[in-house]
């Protein structure tokens, strides 16, 4: 299969899964923003995306996207490391037009992955997982939190200052990762030329900045106790 | 007149492909700024030969930036720190007095070191043989006006064709990817009417050969176009991706 045994095919898999994940993040961010305006509205979204069959199927699809993206990332990086040869340069210099993030995508990706692990423990394990396994509800100060009461979980998680710091670091890593990944995905698909190069990089910058500001807003406003 | 400068040259010396290499330092005195980088190495080699030592082996041919033979990774940049030139077009006036200049060979699994600063770039020839050509029918010559080509297309193809196949893109790439070279060679034919016959086959064959020879996967860092002595852009890589993906989808 050419998606596995050609360099461009493997890159295409990275590109398409990456774009799908960006799309997921966009929906995720939009739903988070609901929490800023209406706690009831946010909990309605939580209920809608609880252990209903469509939400479970979508979650499994999403997990598959993540796994494929990560497996291919390690595979490609390993091949690229080998292609570099045994001896390394003694002196290296990064030209101005080369983004720092573009040369550190795997490191950024690992930080993002660690953040996802933390995030699943904080939210998913106390929401969808509880519903799926009919497990114990999460208890804060003696009060059981309903698996669909996402707003209470947000408030609890970000009442701890270190979670605010960790999430902001995570969001920054996502920003760097997507800033390169977004335009790079289009380049790999082949939708790029001399004119679109700067356009795509500008769209990339704006899109990821708005996306990450949306995520950060929820963390900061709940963390500061304003909401 | 350019000032004379003195500096230390730190050069990679390696006896053969299997031998272990190491850096050796050579003090250089009163080199004129108008000396080209390769002439400076010639001066050093004259000295070494005079002292009965082995001269430094490096690739060079035309010394006017069109043949693609010269290489050298100078101070962290293929073809030196100046943009848009090959090593033979790099002059010593670009360096400072008292500086240490580090000279390394291209480092990539696809380009094994032969000796000192000379690497084996036959991999590029092999990729070209896989499909970087057009078939021409023999017989009576075609009428010159039979295949009109617009100025824009001609310019675009010419820009891609300016690739001299020196290998700086692979040398600059953290992934050892040859995509800039292959994409330029595919592009220069894919956009011209003469290249249409083998278009689909060419993209597939050249990419397959590139992968087979152990070059890495492109991750769009853009280091190649920043270091390319002929300023080939990554829009060629986007075109190659298009060509390859659509060729595979047709199968």
Judge contact between B117 and B44, C-beta under 8 A.
no
| pLDDT for res B29 | 95
* First-residue to last-residue Cα distance in chain B: 63
Nearest Cα neighbor of B86 from B98, B95, B77 is B77
- Chain A contact set for B233 (CB, 8 A): 194, 197
Q: Percent of chain A having pLDDT more than 90? A: 87
Query: Which ipTM score applies to this complex?
Result: 0.92
List pLDDT tens digits, range A11-33. 999 999 999 999 999 999 999 99
Where in the sequence of chain B do the CATH 3.10.20.30 domains occur? 4-104
List pLDDT tens digits, range A128-146. 999 898 888 888 888 888 8
Question: Per the CB < 8 Å rule, is A85 touching B239?
Answer: no
Those residues whose C-beta lies under 8 Å from the C-beta of residue A197, and which sit 6 or more positions away, are: A183, B233, B234, B235
Tokens of A105: 């995508």
| pLDDT for res A142 | 82
Mean pLDDT for the stretch of residues A3-9: 95
Which residue among A9, A97, A105 sits closest to B226, beta carbon to beta carbon? A97
pLDDT over 90 (residue B146): no
Pick the more confident residue, B1 or B143. Answer: B143
Question: Per the CB < 8 Å rule, is B207 touching A192?
Answer: no
List pLDDT tens digits, range A35-84. 999 999 999 999 999 888 999 999 999 999 999 999 999 999 999 999 99
Say which residue the tokens 């360099």 belong to: A7
Pick the more confident residue, B142 or A224. Answer: A224
pLDDT over 90 (residue B136): no
| Fold of domain B121-250 | Fumarate Reductase Iron-sulfur Protein; Chain B, domain 2 (1.10.1060)
- Mean pLDDT for all residues in chain A: 94
| pLDDT for res B1 | 64
Which residue among A82, A90, A94 sits closest to B104, beta carbon to beta carbon? A90
CATH number of B4-104: 3.10.20.30
pLDDT over 70 (residue A97): yes
- Taking only residues 35 to 74 of chain B, the set having a beta carbon closer than 8 angstroms to any beta carbon of chain A reads 73
Q: Percent of chain B having pLDDT more than 90? A: 92
Which residue among A2, A76, A189 sits closest to B241, beta carbon to beta carbon? A189
| pLDDT for res A50 | 85
Nearest Cα neighbor of A23 from A213, A216, A185 is A185
* Cα gap B204→B211, rounded to integer Å: 11
Question: Per the CB < 8 Å rule, is B245 touching A92?
Answer: no
List pLDDT tens digits, range B164-218. 999 999 999 999 999 999 999 999 999 999 999 999 999 999 999 999 999 999 9
Where in the sequence of chain B do the CATH 1.10.1060.10 domains occur? 121-250
Mean pLDDT for the stretch of residues A139-161: 90
Mean pLDDT for the stretch of residues A194-206: 96
Q: How many CB pairs under 8 A join A and B?
A: 148
DSSP 8-state symbol, B94:
G
Question: Per the CB < 8 Å rule, is A7 touching B210?
Answer: yes
Q: Residue B42: which H helix or E strand, with range?
A: helix B37-50
- Chain A contact set for B251 (CB, 8 A): 2
- Chain B contact set for A204 (CB, 8 A): none
Those residues whose C-beta lies under 8 Å from the C-beta of residue A14, and which sit 6 or more positions away, are: A69, A72, A73, A76, A185, A188
Contact of A19 with chain B, judged by CB distance below 8 Å, is answered with no
Contact of A189 with chain B, judged by CB distance below 8 Å, is answered with yes
Domains of chain A and CATH, by start = 2-85+99-223 (1.20.1300.10)
Residue B63: which pLDDT band, with cuts at 50, 70 and 90? very high
């Amino acid at each position: 299969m050419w998606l596995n045994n050609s360099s461009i095919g493997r890159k295409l898999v990275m590109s398409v899964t990456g774009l799908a994940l960006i799309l997921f993040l966009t929906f995720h961010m939009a739903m988070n923003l609901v929490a800023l305006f209406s706690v009831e509205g946010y909990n309605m979204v939580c209920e809608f995306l609880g252990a209903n069959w469509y939400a479970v199927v979508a979650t499994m699809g999403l997990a598959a996207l993540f796994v494929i993206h990560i497996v291919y990332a390690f595979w490609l990086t390993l091949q690229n490391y080998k292609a570099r040869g045994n001896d390394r340069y003694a002196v290296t210099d990064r030209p101005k037009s080369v983004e720092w993030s573009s040369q550190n995508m795997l490191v950024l990706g690992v930080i993002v992955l660690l953040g996802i692990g933390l995030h699943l423990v904080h939210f998913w394990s106390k929401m969808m997982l509880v519903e799926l396994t009919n497990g114990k509800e999460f208890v804060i100060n003696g009060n059981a939190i309903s698996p669909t009461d996402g707003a209470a979980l947000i408030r609890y998680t970000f009442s701890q200052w270190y979670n605010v710091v960790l999430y902001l670091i995570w969001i920054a890593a996502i920003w760097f990762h997507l800033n390169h990944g977004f335009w790079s995905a289009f380049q790999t698909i082949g939708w790029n030329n001399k004119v679109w190069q700067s356009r795509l990089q500008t769209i990339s910058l704006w899109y990821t900045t708005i996306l990450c500001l949306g995520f950060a807003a929820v963390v900061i406003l709940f963390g500061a106790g304003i909401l | 007149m350019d000032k004379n400068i003195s500096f230390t040259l730190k050069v990679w010396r390696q006896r053969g492909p299997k031998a272990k290499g190491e850096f050796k330092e050579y003090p250089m005195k009163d080199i004129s700024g108008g000396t080209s980088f390769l002439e400076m190495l010639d001066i050093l080699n004259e000295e070494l030969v005079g002292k009965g030592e082995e001269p430094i082996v490096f690739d060079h041919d035309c010394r006017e930036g069109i043949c693609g033979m010269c290489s050298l990774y100078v101070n962290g940049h293929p073809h030196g720190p100046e943009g848009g030139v090959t090593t033979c077009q790099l002059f010593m006036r670009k360096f400072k007095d008292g500086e240490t200049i580090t000279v390394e060979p291209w480092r990539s699994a696809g380009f094994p070191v032969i000796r000192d600063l000379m690497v084996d770039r036959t991999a590029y020839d092999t990729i070209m043989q896989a499909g970087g050509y057009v078939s021409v029918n023999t017989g009576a010559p075609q009428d010159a006006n039979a295949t009109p080509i617009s100025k824009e297309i001609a310019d675009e193809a010419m820009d891609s064709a300016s690739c001299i196949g020196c290998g700086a893109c692979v040398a600059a790439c953290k992934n050892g990817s040859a995509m800039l070279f292959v994409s330029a060679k595919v592009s220069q034919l894919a956009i011209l009417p003469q290249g249409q016959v083998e278009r689909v086959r060419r993209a597939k064959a050249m990419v397959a050969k590139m992968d087979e020879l152990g070059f890495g996967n492109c991750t769009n860092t853009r280091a190649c176009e920043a270091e390319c002595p002929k300023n080939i852009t990554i829009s060629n890589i986007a075109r190659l991706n298009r060509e390859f993906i659509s060729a595979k989808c047709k199968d």
